Amino acid sequence: MPANFFRIFNAIVLWLIVLIFLPKQSFKRFLPVTFFCSFLLLIIEMLSPIFNWWKVEGGYKYMVFDALAFILGPFFTINLWVFHLTFGKFSLYAISNLVIDFIFAYLLCPIFQKIGHFKFKKFTSTKIFFLYYFLALLNYGFQKYIEKPTESIQR
Residue 155 lies in a domain: no
Adjacent-strand bridge partners of 119: 55
Q: How far apart are CA 63 and CA 7, in angstroms?
A: 12
Provide the number of structural domains found in the chain. 1
Residue 154 lies in a domain: no
Residue 91 lies in a domain: yes
Lowest mean pLDDT among 22-31, 35-44, 58-67, 106-115: 58-67
Residue 64 lies in a domain: yes
Domain housing 115: 1-148
pLDDT given for residue 149 in this prediction? 64
Residue 66 lies in a domain: yes
What's the pLDDT tens digit per position in 69-80?
A: 889 888 999 999
pTM over 0.85: yes
What's the pLDDT tens digit per position in 14-55?
A: 888 888 999 999 999 999 999 999 999 999 999 999 999 999
Residue 84 lies in a domain: yes
